[in-house]
Structures are given as structure tokens and as C-alpha cells.
């Protein structure tokens, strides 16, 4: 089994995680900007059947990275140990708060804050990680040498804010598709401004990358076809900004899916064939062929397809508008 098979599985798992957990993280961020209890219950009801299953794809991505590309896994853990621990802590806080807030009375504000802050921290850490990889980690002979804060920079911070805005945008799309009434109207009202914020962040990141003269920019001259991905994203963003407000509830979410696919496609194609940009290639990071073959008969042939079937079944079962959660 070649490493390319596992690269495809890893890319698919990352894409599904970003899209699926992205919208419920976005709903969590929006949760903190909402004061009415009725709206909050409807927001939680929209993600309640799927939010924990969405995080399964993060586990799949980490497992594939650990088993199929151990050198890349070791490098990333060395570089991002502190932010990853912070992200996992925020995920735990978010899950606990989600379950506890309906049972709480006087302390409900605490769990509401934990749910929103946890969602924001997870999104921000993921964005900083992407930014650090795009800027380039301090590497020597395939080993990370940047210390505890080698990932930290103004560029990575800006990427963290950009992903928070992006997750908020796809969260709005999910609320429009799943909710009704005043909450849906508020989401429609916010979507253009949030789209504009995302576009401003992306333009700012592009200008900042030109100023930093990042190595990734050389790939755009070497590979002109990379322009296809941003073009798809621009078209989708234009539909959100200037499209007719004809209240097609699923169209905003679909456009946001295209934006995220374009962004991830741009990122992955720009660094091909590197697992760690410009430091560790796919072949250098891959496990021995015997290990890859062994993994195929378990994770590749059964586990990943089973998770995909389960996720599809869940979304099909809970298709349609969400009803507010009752106070338990």
C-alpha cells in the first residue's frame, strides 16, 4: 500500500473534520454572542445529534498521521505540544459544558461561557497551527529546533483569528439551514458582514505573506493551476455577498463548503509533496510499506468506511429543521 493512499485518507479526514466540526465550533462561538435563552436552546438543538460524532474525524486524522507518517507526527507533536494540549483541554471543557448547562440553574452562565470560550480556543489554536505551518517551522535535518514557542508569530496569530471568522461563517450557514424564526433571521442578517470579515482576513494574510516573502509564494509561479482553488472560493464568497436574498436555506452553507474546500485545496497543493512544508516529504515521513499494508486491513478497509457510513446515517436521520431543546 503506497503512502499516497494514506495521504488521501488523511486529507479526507482533515477536510471532513474542518467542515463538520467547523460548523459546530462556529455555532459555539455564536452561542457566546447570543443572549436569548430560546435562541441558545435552538442553537444547541441544531448540533446536539452530531457534534460529538464530528470530532471523530479529528481522531481519524491523528491516528492516520501517527500510524502512516510517524516522523511527521513526532515533528508536529514536538512543535505544537503546548497548543495541542490547550486545544484538547478546550474540547473537553466544551463537551462538559454542553452536557452540564441543561442541568444547571444558578451556574448555567458558567457552562455557557465554557462552551463558547472552548469553541473559540479550539478554532483559534487550529488557525495558529495552520499559520505556523504556512510560515514554516524552524527545522534542521528534518528535526524541529524551534523550542516551546517556535510556532508563535504575528502571522500565526492572524491565521488563528481568520479561522475563527471562517468557522463563525460556516456556523451561520448551518443555523440558516437548520433553524427557523428569529434565530434564522439573525443569521441571515449577520452573514454578509461575516463574509466580508473573512475576505478581509484572507486579503490581509495574502498581503502579509508578500511582506514576509514566504516560500509558499514561489509555488504560485511554479504551479499556475493553484489559482483554480482561490477562484472557486472567490465565486462562492461573491454569491454570499452579492447573491439574491431569496431565502434558499441550504445555499449559504453549500457556498461555505466550497470556500473551505478551496482554502484547504490551496494549502495542500501549495506544499505538495511535503508533509511538513519544505522540511519533510511524504516519502520521508511515511512508515515502512509493511506497516502501511497492515494498517490498510484494519483502518483503511473497515474503520474509515464504517465511520463514513455512520456519519452519513446520522445526518440523514436528523435531516430537517431542529427543535429547541427542552429544559431537563
For 293-317, write each residue's pLDDT tens digit: 888 887 777 888 888 898 899 888 8
The three grid cell numbers given for residue 236, joined into one nine-digit string? 462562492
The three grid cell numbers given for residue 315, joined into one nine-digit string? 445526518
The DSSP secondary structure of 57-79, one letter per residue, reads HHHHHHHHHHHH-HHHHHHHHHH
Spatial CB neighbours of 247, under 8 Å, sequence gap ≥ 6? 188
Q: Which of 136, 93, 143 is nearest to 114 (CA)?
A: 93
44-64 burial, b at 16+ Cβ within 10 Å, e below that, comes to bbbbbebbebbbbbbebbbbb
Instruction: Give phi and psi for 24, each to the nearest 5.
Output: -80, -25
Residue 322 lies in a domain: no
Q: Which of 7, 55, 19 is nearest to 260 (CA)?
A: 19
d(CA 226, CA 220): 6
What pLDDT does 92 receive?
93
Nearest 5 degrees, angle CA 60-CA 66-CA 68?
90
Residue 323 lies in a domain: no
What pLDDT does 328 receive?
46
Helices 108-135 and 251-271, packing angle to 10 deg:
40
Specify the long-range contacts of residues 51-54, CB closer than 8 Å, at least 24 apart: 51/21, 51/24, 51/98, 52/95, 53/310, 53/311, 53/314, 54/17, 54/20, 54/21, 54/24, 54/311
Residue 324 lies in a domain: no
Secondary structure letter of residue 278 according to DSSP = T
Which domain does 306 fall in, by range?
3-317
- Say whether 297 sits in a helix, a strand or coil: helix
Domain count, the chain: 1
| pTM of the predicted structure, to 2 decimals | 0.91
What pLDDT does 10 receive?
92
Residue 122 lies in a domain: yes
What is the full per-residue pLDDT of the chain (328 aa) written as tens digits? Answer: 688 999 999 999 999 999 999 999 999 999 988 888 888 889 998 998 888 888 899 999 999 999 999 999 999 999 999 999 999 999 999 989 988 888 877 888 899 999 999 999 999 999 999 999 988 888 888 788 888 888 999 999 999 999 999 999 999 999 999 988 888 889 988 988 998 898 899 888 888 888 887 777 777 777 777 788 888 888 988 888 776 566 778 888 999 999 999 888 888 888 888 888 888 899 999 999 888 888 888 777 788 888 889 889 988 888 888 776 555 4
Residue 325 lies in a domain: no
The three grid cell numbers given for residue 90, joined into one nine-digit string? 478546550
Q: Is 213 left (phi over 0), alpha (psi -120 to 50) or beta?
A: left
Looking only at the bridges linking them, the beta strands covering 143-144 and 139-140 are antiparallel
What pLDDT does 16 receive?
92
d(CA 250, CA 298): 36
CATH number where 151 lies: 1.20.1630
Amino acid at each position: 500500500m503506497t503512502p499516497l493512499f494514506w495521504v488521501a485518507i488523511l486529507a479526507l479526514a482533515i477536510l471532513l473534520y474542518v467542515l463538520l466540526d467547523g460548523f459546530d465550533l462556529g455555532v459555539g462561538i455564536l452561542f457566546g454572542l447570543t443572549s436569548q435563552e430560546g435562541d441558545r436552546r435552538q442553537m444547541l438543538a441544531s448540533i446536539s445529534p452530531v457534534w460529538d460524532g464530528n470530532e471523530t474525524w479529528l481522531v481519524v486524522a491523528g491516528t492516520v498521521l501517527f500510524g502512516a507518517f510517524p516522523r511527521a507526527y513526532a515533528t508536529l507533536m514536538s512543535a505544537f505540544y503546548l497548543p495541542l494540549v490547550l486545544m484538547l483541554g478546550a474540547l473537553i471543557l466544551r463537551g462538559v459544558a454542553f452536557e452540564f448547562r441543561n442541568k444547571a440553574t444558578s451556574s448555567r452562565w458558567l457552562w455557557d461561557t465554557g462552551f463558547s470560550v472552548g469553541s473559540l480556543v479550539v478554532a483559534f489554536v487550529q488557525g495558529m497551527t495552520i499559520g505556523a505551518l504556512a510560515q514554516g517551522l524552524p527545522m534542521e535535518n528534518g528535526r524541529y529546533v524551534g523550542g516551546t514557542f517556535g510556532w508563535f508569530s504575528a502571522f500565526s496569530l492572524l491565521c488563528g483569528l481568520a479561522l475563527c471568522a471562517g468557522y463563525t461563517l460556516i456556523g451561520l450557514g448551518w443555523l440558516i439551514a437548520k433553524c427557523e424564526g428569529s434565530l434564522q433571521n439573525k443569521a441571515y442578517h449577520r452573514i454578509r458582514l461575516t463574509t466580508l470579515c473573512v475576505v478581509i482576513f484572507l486579503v490581509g494574510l495574502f498581503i502579509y505573506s508578500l511582506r514576509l516573502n514566504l516560500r509558499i509564494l514561489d509555488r504560485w509561479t511554479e504551479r499556475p493551476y493553484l489559482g483554480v482553488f482561490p477562484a472557486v472560493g472567490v465565486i462562492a464568497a461573491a454569491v454570499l455577498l452579492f447573491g439574491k436574498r431569496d431565502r434558499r436555506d441550504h445555499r449559504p452553507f453549500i457556498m461555505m463548503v466550497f470556500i473551505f474546500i478551496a482554502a484547504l485545496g490551496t494549502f495542500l497543493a501549495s506544499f505538495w509533496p511535503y508533509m511538513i512544508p519544505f522540511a519533510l516529504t511524504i516519502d520521508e515521513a511515511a512508515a515502512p510499506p509493511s506497516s502501511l499494508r497492515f494498517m490498510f486491513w484494519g483502518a483503511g478497509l473497515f474503520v474509515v468506511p464504517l465511520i463514513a457510513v455512520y456519519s452519513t446515517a446520522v445526518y440523514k436521520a436528523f435531516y430537517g429543521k431542529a427543535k429547541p431543546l427542552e429544559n431537563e
